[in-house]
Chain A
Amino acid sequence: MTVPDALTRIRLQVMWTRLIAVVEEQAQTMIRTAFSTTVREAGDLSAGIFDLEGRMLAQAVTGTPGHVNSMSESVGHFLRQYPAAAMRPGDHFITNDPWIGTGHLHDLTVVTPAFHDGRLVALFANTAHVIDIGGLGMGPEGRSVFEEGLTIPILRCFEQGRRNETFFAFLRAGSRLPVELEGDVYSLCACNEAGARRLSEMLAEFAIDSLVPLAEFIFENSRSATLAAIAALPPGRVTAEIRADGYEAPVTLCAAMTIGAGAIEVDFAGTSPVSARGINVPPAYCRAYASFGIKVVVAPEVPNNWASLQPFQMRIPEGCILNAPRPWPVSLRHVIGQLLPDLMMGCLFQVVPERVAAEGSSCLWNPPLRGGGAVSGPAMGNRRVIEDFEVITFNSGGTGARADRDGLDATAFPSGVRAMAVEATENVGPVLFWRKEFRPDSGGAGRTRGGVGQVMEIGTLGDLEFACNAVFDRVQHPPLGRAGGLAGAPGVVRTRNGQSLRPKGFQIIADGDRLVLELPGGGGMGDPLERPPALVARDVRDGLVSPEAAERLYAVAVTAAGTLDEAATARLRAARRGGRSVDRPRGD
């Protein structure tokens, strides 16, 4: 290679690294300026840069996988409606259409053209989850997208720097939290502007006026890295299935994965039809989480962009719950969508078992809590009513066991969100958390254990009536183990006084009572009898596994204080193995 060619190659690498830093800066700006707790506390956002054909060049590492290529797809829709040639400096375009953006009305996507020396060079896009967009609010109860809130078709919210007053007037009128919502739109625009500014500085520094050669370099390297990762897998066809609670009836998700030359194709034929309630998934969101589930196993090191995601192809029959046509309700598309990585890993377990995890709690257990007049009506006579509040927290059960490590206790996967401090939540509304700690005996037993879930007990100040718009899954269908590992504990939704609640739907918790959520544990991996007794003893000493469960599931004799009886354990295990493998030759 000649010296100038070598220099060019090194510079392209440097610029690629720079571009990823530029979008990271874009994401950080959003986190610091956003109004929604969902963005700033929970990190439910994404940010990226696109070429003028709408192909994603780079995406911020900060953010959540659900937005991965759903945002990537949405930029193409913007370009079809507003061709690049007609875009002007200071323009910002917006939508929350679930079939154009990232799957439900609560996600706003803003696209902003970036100019350098007066020429359009790229597009910046970002997505953020806002707190309120009118309608019924986050919950499964809507029967069509029209009931779920305000739909914003693709439109220009700023034109050459001027506010679109008509748009902002409609937006404010359509939300319970108009100031915060408007502030979030400002934040989305500001962060794209920050990205555009940095990009222009980068082009000046490297003395280039187009991103086309860089885009080709990024796409070529990413494509070949992903293809090399696919080529390292044995080709073939594998299938998997997951059963979930659903709303009115259990839901089955089916996948047939074909690993071929240059692509991994997934066919979702056999999957349950759409639900009458808002747990349906628009296809872009299905592609996003299915791609994430494959990528995290097959090619985790390859940065997200158009080319690195392209070899993952999905066929999703229209009308199934993973490809809900408009106007089916989709508010809680993540409850089903977040099971997709488990489904993908169910396929990949048959290909590269050492690289996948067992099933986990997976869908977030975010209780949307509401109290006050909207739940209890006005206070009358002696009847006290709690002050009006809307609170949502982001919580998770256990993740599935990995081949060489236990699952993570009470940790979000596949979602990338973070939980808020209880003290901070209690400062947002008159709610009280009486308990939030690990749930013993919930991690699925295995050679490696599933992560444990957690128990949360929630009331209000004065134990007054409130409501929970339940959005939970894995209650009738716990996360399953793999390779002989056992299932994690299923979720439980009840009140402190013992009343059982439905896992999905709007329900009232009466005066004097409290909501109790027992979050699922992750599935185990491998035969529990192969788990080193010392690790079982440690879990018993820590109170995460009871001595009874240690004996019953792991055949380990250990006291509550964690003292291991090695001789008794050896006897228990021998007896258990003997009883289990009747067809094994004896006396060897």
Chain B
Amino acid sequence: MTGPARLAIDIGGTFTDLALEVGGQLVTAKVLTTPAEPERGVLAGVHRILAEAALAPAAIGLVIHGTTLATNAIIERKGARTALLTTEGFRDVLAIGNESRYDQYDLNIALPEPLVPRHLRYTVPERLDRTGRVLRPLDEDAVAALAPRLAEDGVESLAIGFLHSFVNPAHEQRARAILAPLLPGVPISLSAEVSPEMREWERFSTAAANAYIQPLMARYLALLAEALSRLGVGAPLFLMLSGGGLTGLETALRFPVRLVESGPAGGAIFAADLAAAAGLARVLSFDMGGTTAKICLIDAARPKTARSFEVARIGRFKKGSGLPLRIPVIEMVEIGAGGGSLARVDGLGRIAVGPESAGADPGPACYGRGGTRPTVTDANLALGRYDPDRFADGRLVLDTAAAERALAPIGAALGLDAAMAALGVVEMVDETMANAARVHAAESGATLAGRTLIAFGGGGPVHACRLAERLGIDRIRIPAGAGVGSAIGFLRAPVAYEVVRSLYQRLTRFDHEAVNGLFAEMAREAGGIVAAAAPGAAARESRIAYMRYVGQGHEIPVKLPERALTAADADLIRTAYDAQYAAFYDRPVPGSDIEVLSFALTLAVPAPPATPAPPDPPAFAVEASARRLVRATETGRLHDWAVHDRAALPPGAHLSGPAIITEAATSTLVGPAWRARIGAAGAIELWRELP
């Protein structure tokens, strides 16, 4: 394979990962993130990876970038001093939210503080009705009169959000036209542009977040582009979006909120690409790191997407404790369960794991850096799942005695010895992750049985077998190169942009012309963005309607044909909806009309197709390189397990559980009921045959 080199850069909280693909070869690198000036870390990484690939900077044809910078700015409250201009009478939409508590049984909860404090929330007289008709004209003098106050307050960025602006953005646009010349250098985000959907709290919150991170992201992206060009990399810079597509710099600068969570999106695309190459139709991706585990449903090689999520949850990963963002996003469940998650015994004598984490410092007790509280990693070590001398390529010698000491109090509280306490910890953390996956599947109307689990991250391969057993899953893949999965995922992402708009329709009086008109507008908007990012490339369109029975509250997505609709299509759409509803909930409701709340259009230039996996090499059995005593979860007793070194296993190698396959960053557990082989592309494939 030829063509210019493609470089992916993923800035995470601790590490900056790079992946370079040239001539069908993949080179990866990992460097430390430099939080104060992230572009410095990037440059160090680029130097390193170019040297390793023996490539000149000019040989790079495309740079794809994703970053947690936007997310972190919101979590750490390091964004711009942001003001909100809103409809008179509605100053507190951001703070009132949905008037609820995210935990019914905790009297002492705090609610997330809005990004814009009350003294920077201004109102002006104006009001539209639900159809966009003007009930009260915009008081333009009042808008203009605010300019000096905004300047005096030192406002660096401004969001404008008026009620019902998603139907008619005229007032928001007019307010911007008045204020922009009076406030030079202050970027303005309109809620009707950032997130043109119904529900004022979510829309205003998204606009406020966009405004909040805009100056910071603009500064950073300019510095990065400049640094790359100084280095001699003249290639265009693409940005990874939370929805799984790529876009150009211009869109990223206008709608930086769409860059939030782009790193995890890369991980899901990495798994989706593997699914495509291996021809796996139904997948559950499972990425378990140091502090959290992330789970994503992938059907037909497409990660499940959603239209909203929460950022910066303050209540231990609890739903409702974050700020709502209504943007297209790859939907992932994040659980506070990773290798560093702390285990304890709660007031009911139950082992509880996470969400508190020992973090990187001091880390698990077995790291010997001063940690004394038991973590999941300590439990895995105490069960014999890691070779203490070979962890992290032998750079870190694990202290089994320290792990057992840390676990002893858990055992003491429950009348168990340290080894059985360790078993309890891993069983509970596996159950916690399995429950999160189950509830997520129920919410999504998906089933888990019959899927393939694609496991990566430091903890994924260790916990994959037990998680699969709990979810009724019989096939697992552990990809190679999983340590920089997100960056590799970036290389596989399409240039794509999704536009969502609200337009109320009832199927019994479906206005196909209005819908066609809306789609035409959306296609123009997406077309402009995609064409700018990938000039001349052929783009594929897909259309979705979010529908429900009249009176219900939750819509389900239904695919629409990619063409202009006719009056006759109402029946076709109804049939598609009924089929989809029955798939979700079994029991269609007789006699109800159906309504459409909003429509989505995605325009995508397909990424380079996944390289199909080469044919399976001939299978041959391999001998264990060592043996070790491991405590099995099934019996609670020590058994003699085979140990294999992953690096020494060529494609075609075949082995039966119980066994452990070790590598630098992690261990793959092959449970007693499981078999494993190394695929042609280097992935470990596990399967079990049920009796």
Give the B-binding residues of A (Cβ under 8 A). 1, 3-4, 6-7, 9-11, 13-14, 16-18, 21, 24-25, 28-29, 31-35, 37, 39-41, 43, 61, 63-65, 177, 179-180, 182-183, 186, 189-190, 193-194, 198, 201, 205, 221-222, 225, 228-229, 295-297, 299-303, 355-357, 394-396, 402, 404-405, 408-413, 416-424, 426-427, 432-438, 454, 457, 461, 541-544, 562
Could you tell me the distance in whole angstroms from the C-beta of A441 to the nearest C-beta in chain B? 14
Q: Which of B65-118 contact A (CB under 8 A)?
A: 88-93, 95-96, 98-101, 104-111, 117-118
CB-based closest 4 A-B pairs: A40-B553, A435-B89, A21-B435, A542-B118
Asked whether, in the complex, the Cβ of A24 is within 8 Å of the Cβ of B439, the reply is: yes
Contact of A29 with B585 in the complex, beta carbons under 8 Å: yes
B164 close to chain A: CB less than 8 A: yes
Least CB distance from B428 to A in Å reads: 7
- B90 close to A436 (CB less than 8 A): yes
Query: How far is the CB of B186 from the nearest CB of chain A, in Å?
Result: 21
For the complex, what is the distance from the CA of A7 to the CA of B135, rounded to whole Å?
68
Give the contacting residue for A3; candidates B118, B347, B420, B432; CB below 8 A: B420
List residues of chain A with CB within 8 A of the CB of B587: 33, 186, 189-190
CB-based contact B350/A437 at 8 Å = no
Contact B119 A541 (CB under 8 A): yes
Q: A179-B591, A301-B348, A426-B129 are in contact. List 17 more A-B contacts (CB 8 A).
A: A1-B420, A6-B420, A21-B438, A32-B443, A32-B584, A37-B553, A39-B553, A64-B104, A179-B592, A222-B348, A228-B347, A299-B347, A402-B108, A408-B109, A409-B95, A410-B99, A419-B98
B427 engages A423 (CB within 8 Å):
no
Q: Is there an interface contact between A436 and B554, defined as CB atoms closer than 8 Å?
A: no
Set B95, B420, B549: member contacting A35, Cβ < 8 A: B549
Q: Closest Cβ of chain A: how far from B407's Cβ, in Å?
A: 13
- Say whether, besides A295-B105, A424-B199, A438 and B553 are in contact (CB < 8 Å): no
Give the residue name and chain of the A residue nearest to B91 (CB): A437
In the bound complex, residues from chain B placing their C-beta under 8 Å from that of A63 are 104
Establish whether residues B552 and A297, one from each chain, have CB atoms under 8 Å apart when the complex forms. no
Q: Does B627 contact A (CB under 8 A)?
A: no
Q: Which residues of B contact A409 (CB under 8 A)?
A: 92, 95-96
Given A179-B591, A411-B101, residue A190 in contact with residue B586 (CB < 8 A) = yes
Most chain A Cβ neighbours within 10 Å, of B88, B117, B350, B549: B350
Asked if B95 and A396 sit within 8 Å, CB to CB, the answer is no
Which residue of chain A has the shortest Cβ distance to B166 in the bound complex? A423
18 CB-based A-B contacts, threshold 8 Å = A3-B635, A4-B636, A7-B635, A7-B636, A10-B351, A10-B424, A13-B350, A18-B435, A28-B443, A33-B585, A182-B589, A301-B105, A301-B348, A418-B99, A421-B201, A421-B202, A438-B95, A542-B118
Taking CB atoms, residues of chain A closer than 8 Å to B584 are 32
Contact indicator A357/B107 (Cβ below 8 Å): yes
Is the Cβ of B585 less than 8 Å from the Cβ of A190? yes
Known: A3-B637, A405-B110. A412 touches B348 (CB 8 A): no
Q: List CB contacts (< 8 Å) of B603-638 with chain A.
A: 635-637
Q: Chain B: residues with CB nearer than 8 A to chain A?
A: 88-93, 95-96, 98-101, 104-111, 117-119, 127, 129-130, 135, 163-164, 198-202, 346-351, 414-417, 420, 423-424, 427-428, 431-432, 435, 438-439, 442-443, 445, 470, 472, 504, 549, 551-554, 584-587, 589, 591-592, 635-637
Residues on the A chain within 8 Å of B199, using CB: 421, 423-424
**Chain A residues whose CB sits within 8 angstroms of the CB of B427 once the complex forms:** 10-11, 13-14
Q: Is the pair A432, B637 in contact by a Cβ cutoff of 8 Å?
A: no
For the complex, what is the distance from the CA of A222 to the CA of B347, rounded to whole Å?
A: 9
Are B350 and A16 in contact (CB-based, < 8 A)?
Answer: yes
Closest partner residue, chain A, to B634 (CB atom): A7
Are A221 and B349 neighbours in the complex by a CB distance under 8 Å? yes
Bound together, the chains give a CA A18 to CA B427 distance in angstroms of: 12
Min CB distance, B469 to chain A, in Å?
8
Q: Find the residue from B107, B199, B438 having the highest chain A CB count within 10 A.
A: B107
Nearest to B110 among chain A residues (CB) is: A405
Task: Judge whether B554 and A32 touch: CB under 8 Å.
Answer: yes
A419's partner among B95, B99, B350, B439 (CB-CB below 8 A) is B99
Which residues of the partner chain A approach B89 to less than 8 Å between Cβ atoms?
433-437, 457
Instruction: Given A186-B587, A416-B100, A434-B89, verify A25-B438 contact (CB < 8 Å).
Output: yes
Chain B residues within an 8 Å CB radius of A43:
100
A225 touches B119 (CB 8 A): no
- Asked whether A421 lies within 8 Å of B118 as measured between CB atoms, the reply is no
Q: Is the CB of B119 within 8 A of A543?
A: yes
Q: Once the chains bind, are B439 and A542 in contact (CB under 8 Å)?
A: no
Taking A186-B587, A394-B99 as contacts, is the C-beta distance between A225 and B348 under 8 angstroms?
yes
Nearest chain-B residue to A24 (Cβ)? B439
Given contacts A35-B551, A357-B107, contact A421 B198 (CB under 8 A): yes
Q: Do the beta carbons of A221 and B350 come within 8 Å of each other?
A: yes
- CB of A300 within 8 A of CB of B636, answer no
Q: Which residues of B contact A17 (CB under 8 A)?
A: 350, 428, 431-432, 435
Q: Considering residues B89, B91, B92, B108, which has the most beta carbons from chain A within 10 angstroms of its beta carbon?
A: B92
Chain B residues lying within 8 Å of A419, measured Cβ to Cβ, are 96, 98-100
Q: Which residues of B contact A408 (CB under 8 A)?
A: 101, 109, 111
- The smallest beta-carbon distance between A434 and chain B, in angstroms, is 5
Whether B424 pairs with A13 at a CB distance below 8 angstroms is: yes
Given the interface pairs A21-B435, A28-B439, A186-B589, the reply to whether A416 lies near B348 with Cβ below 8 Å is no
A424-B439 in contact (CB<8A):
no
The residue of chain A having its C-beta at the shortest distance from the C-beta of B104 within the complex is: A416
Q: Once bound together, how far apart are the Cα atoms of A189 and B347, in whole Å?
A: 35
- A297-B107, A416-B101 given; A3·B589 CB < 8 A: no
Chain A hits for B549, CB < 8 A: 35, 183
Which chain A positions have C-beta within 8 A of B470? 205
Q: How far is the CB of A215 from chain B (nearest CB, A)?
A: 15
Which chain A residue shows the least CB distance to B470? A205
Q: Please indicate the chain A residues that have their CB under 8 angstroms from the CB of B586 in the complex.
A: 190, 193
For B99, the closest partner residue in chain A by CB is A419
B551 and A396 contact, CB distance less than 8 A: no
**Are B108 and A29 neighbours in the complex by a CB distance under 8 Å?**
no
Q: Once the chains bind, are A13 and B351 in contact (CB under 8 Å)?
A: yes
Cβ–Cβ < 8 Å partners of B589 in chain A: 182-183, 186
Q: How far is the CB of B584 from chain A (nearest CB, A)?
A: 8
Query: B101 near A9 (CB under 8 angstroms)?
Result: no
CA–CA, A13 to B91, complex, Å? 48
In whole angstroms, how far apart are the Cα atoms of A328 and B98 in the complex? 34
Nearest-neighbor residue (CB-CB) of B586 within chain A? A190
A4 — which chain B residues lie within 8 A by C-beta?
Answer: 636
In the assembly, what is the distance between CA of A236 and CA of B505, in Å? 63
The residues of A that contact B96 with a CB separation of less than 8 Å are 409-410, 419, 436-438, 454
Residues of A within 8 A of B108 (CB): 402, 404-405
Q: List, in ascending order, chain A residues with CB within 8 A of B347's CB.
A: 225, 228-229, 299, 301-302
CA gap between A411 and B552 in the complex, in Å: 25
Q: A6-B420, A426-B130 are in contact. Are A412 and B553 (CB under 8 A)?
A: no
Q: In the complex, are the beta carbons of B200 and A542 less than 8 A apart?
A: no
> Is B553 touching A417 in the complex (CB atoms < 8 A)?
no
- Taken together as a complex, chains A and B put the C-alpha atoms of A21 and B428 apart, in Å, by 13
Q: Which residue of A35, A229, A296 contacts B107 across the interface (Cβ within 8 Å)?
A: A296
User: Which residue from chain A places its CB closest to the CB of B435 in the assembled complex?
Assistant: A21
- Contact (Cβ within 8 A) B99 A411: yes
* Nearest-Cβ distance from residue A82 to partner chain B, whole angstroms: 22
Q: Is the CB of A221 within 8 A of B348?
A: yes
Asked if A40 meets B552 with Cβ closer than 8 Å, knowing A183-B589, A357-B107, A427-B130, the reply is: yes
Q: How far is the CB of A217 from chain B (nearest CB, A)?
A: 10
> B residues within 8 A CB of A433?
89
* Contact residues in B for A190 (Cβ distance below 8 Å): 585-587
Which residues of the other chain, B, contact A1 by a CB distance below 8 angstroms? 415-416, 420
- The answer to whether B592 and A183 have CB atoms under 8 Å apart is yes
Chain B residue at minimum C-beta to C-beta distance from A411: B99
Q: Do B118 and A25 have beta carbons less than 8 Å apart? A: no
Q: In the complex, are the beta carbons of B163 and A423 less than 8 A apart?
A: yes
When A225-B347, A427-B130 are in contact, do A300 and B105 touch as well, CB less than 8 Å?
A: yes
